[in-house]
Structure 1
Amino acid sequence: MAEWWWSIDRELLGALILLMTCGMVLSFAASPPVAERIGLSPWFFIIRHALFCLLALPVLIGASLMNHRQARVAALVTLVVSLALLWATLRFGTEVKGARRWISFLGQSVQPSEFVKPAFAVLGAWLFSESMVHRNVPGKIIATLIMFSIVGALLLQPDIGQTALVLATWATMLFISGISWWIIFGLAGAAGGLIAGAYLMFPHVSRRIDTFLNPEGGGNTYQIDRALQSLLEGGWFGRGPGESIAKKLIPDAHADYVFSAAAGEFGIIFCMVLVALIAFIVIRAMMGAQRQTSLFARLAASTLAIQFAVQSGINLAVNLNLVPPKGMTLPFVSYGGTSMIAIAFGMGLMLALTRTKPEERMVTGIPTYKSALAPAE
């Protein structure tokens, strides 16, 4: 544990725990009205959110204790299990609003796609790095086939938001590993084609896009209207805990729209601090990744950081009505057990992959046990 403490990025670890604490505080502010509206105890979501945090913290610490080989093995096992559950969800999952995204596992409802994302980021990074070091290893092809397997299951659920995040993860690895601009332009064109295909194939996607582009056209804009109202009524410093009026009317104030609920009670300045904290986590992780001598560690840690940034950015953009609504949680802040634990697993792996090596600590003046016990020359 002492070796872990000296090698871990303590500022990054502290920022992640602080973000989790902010989520717990916002749960007190946003959850009670939602629970009362559906006939539950005002403490229902608060207690469950606290339990999720208590489970997520040891997952975060435990994953950060792994070495690179253990991180790869953990990612492989997690990906195999979660991918199998992802496909099993199509047959045995619970259908909610026309989509099958949840499956009962050991008495608990689990969303396998949440665990697929960090596992694919780490395992895919290893395959990409192997193909870059050993030209005869088809790592990129294998990673691409895994990506298609994940995307195929997600589209059949359907879950367009998670599909976009998995594709962004794969594109990140492809971009960081080095590709030509022609491929980048081709991927951009393919992304446009996928959006057009989703619009034509999935009615709920077309409805959301049509409503987003034409709010006056008769679509259901109740939730986003209340979210924007909450953002505006809070002003710079907010109305105070429990005083926001619009927050009490947002159906998902504790989950996808927790950022809007926070703005109504604590103000825009608090929201800016929250965004700055997320930005610090991403930038700090990217800087730590670039210091790694291992190509796998650099690629995997960078991909996990960008995955965290993209998910946060999508949630914030939905709250600000910059993109059509989609079910995407704000990491460590929104309510959701599967999401909380899966993100903790991914961030723990990111911490493990950005730990400093003994020779790097000697440069910074931090002694190791080996150097302390070695005889003087």
Structure 2
Amino acid sequence: MNQIVNNLKGDRWIWLIVILLSLISLLSVYSAIGSLAYKRGVGAESILIKHLAIMIGGLVLMYISHKLDYRYYAGISKLLMFITIPLLLYTLVFGAKLNEASRWIAIPGTGLSFQTSDMAKLALITYLARVLSRKQENIKDVKNSFIPIISSVCLVFVLIAPANLSTGLMLFGVSILLLIIGRISIKQIAVVCGAGLVLLVIMLATGVGGRSGTHSSRIDVFLHPEKADPAKTFQSDHAKIAIASGGFFGKGPGKSSEVNYLPEAYSDEIYAIIVEEYGMFGGIVLVGIYLFLLYRCIKIVTRAPKAFGALLAAGLSFSLTIQAFANMAVAVGLGPVTGVPLPFVSMGGTSMLFTSIAFGIILSVSRDIDEPKGAEEEISSGNKIVVGQISPLTP
């Protein structure tokens, strides 16, 4: 055990966060899969074991990705983008459909599916971190810097948004935050936002992907729930009932009643089940865990010795925390219904795996922060090493 712990490098607090989220996930998923097990005609334990296997696989990927020097991800980002764009296009046209949305590619002969938007998030963030860090010296150059950046952001948004608007908008927002950190001018950022708005309006007006009616209906139900069909407010109503009935300390583990009514209780609405069983106290603790994750990641960003590492950690941490708070906001009625899972807590396949890789990359960046400390120790021991203070935006 000591040997395993010693091999875990990087920010130890983030490792602790991962362990806590893993435990919360196992407890809450086991409570939420009763109705799913009944529909499938299997035992809840078999579904939990599958979830545990995916989680262990994710932890293995996290360990491997955190051991790899984060600088290698600059080259990997080009390959990821090269693979992701065709996969997104294929998914949009030929992907497996669920609730009128083409989000998955079925893997023949396995019974498994692959959600390409999860890979797209990782690909775009790593690619933007690479481009922004390498273009710092001529970051104001429209042709050589701005055009490649806006092209990649808009292309990925166009391919994701028709079937998964919430994920597309969140990824677009993370991209804007990265552009701000990467010193892109306000005028250019305004152009990117304008381009994104135009693409969104065109998509909704033309009904690309066949989901414009669903998007507008969800927004209308959120803004005017009193006028909506009760069938359309069923999910949000029962999420609110679950949260309200939880009280401060909750009903206790496995004692949720709304788990029998909430669709996707083990995924999209898992926060409502957590609050019902563990109360407002449990909900606040979970919010605190994600806020602490953001705090630790910001510390990594500010101390990272290279621009690429800082931008990489910033983009991935913003993506994880924005997704987490979007999921929780929907559960408490602060946003329209979406299909966004709670990172590293909701039951899922590719979402869990790519979230694990994102954690691993952040940990890889945090490993690099320890190197200047080692150099400083050599200075104090008399060795002639000069250590300069490097700005986080040094390429």
TM-score normalised to the size of structure 1? 0.89
Aligned match for 1:154, one of 134, 154, 160: 160
Match of 2:148 among 136, 142, 151: 142
CA change 1:360–1:155 in 2 (3 A) is same
**Contact 1:72–1:122, Cα closer than 8 Å, also in 2:** yes
- Pairing partner for 2:172 from 154, 161, 167: 167
Aligned mates of 2:8, 2:192 — CA distance in 1: 42
C-alpha deviation, 1:195, in angstroms? 6.0
Offset at residue 73 of structure 1 (A): 2.8
2:113 partner letter: S
Select which of 72, 87, 90 maps to 1:88: 90
Query: What is the percent sequence identity of the aligned residues?
Result: 26
Q: What is the 5 A alignment of 1:224-239?
A: 224-239=236-251
* 1:120 counterpart residue number: 124
What is the correspondence of 1:162-241 to structure 2 with a 5 Å cutoff?
162-183=167-188, 200=205, 201=207, 202-219=212-229, 220-241=232-253
1:236-268 residue CA offsets vs partner (Å, 9 max, x unmatched): 111112222222211111000000001111111
Distance 1:140 1:13 in 2: 36
Q: Distance in 1 between matches of 2:334 and 2:5?
A: 45
2:360 maps to 1:360: no
1:5-154 aligned within 5 A: 5=7, 8-105=10-107, 107=110, 108-134=112-138, 138-154=144-160
How far residue 144 of structure 1 moved from its aligned partner, in angstroms, is 2.1
* CA pair 6-166 structure 1, distance change in 2 beyond 3 A: closer
**Cα displacement (A) at 1:10:** 1.4
Deviation, structure 1 residue 76: 2.9
**Aligned AA (2:325):** G
CA-CA distance at 1:78 after TM superposition: 2.9
Residue-pair matches, total: 370
* TM-score with structure 2 setting the length: 0.85
Which amino acid in the other structure matches residue 352 of structure 1? S
Deviation at 1:334, TM superposition (A): 0.6
Q: Secondary structure at the match of 1:100?
A: strand
Alignment CA distance shift 1:322-1:90 (3 Å): same
Gaps of at least 5 residues in structure 2 are 385-395
Rounded to whole Å, the distance in 2 between the matches of 1:143 and 1:45 is 42
Partner of 1:336: 348
Residue of structure 1 equivalent to 2:287: 275
Tell which deviates more after alignment, 122-131 or 66-75.
66-75
**Which residue is 1:256 aligned to?**
268
Q: 2:153 touches 2:172 (CA, 8 Å); kept in 1?
A: yes
Shift of 1:286: 1.2
Aligned to 1:53, the other structure's residue is in SS state helix
Q: Which moved more, 1:186-195 or 1:19-28?
A: 186-195
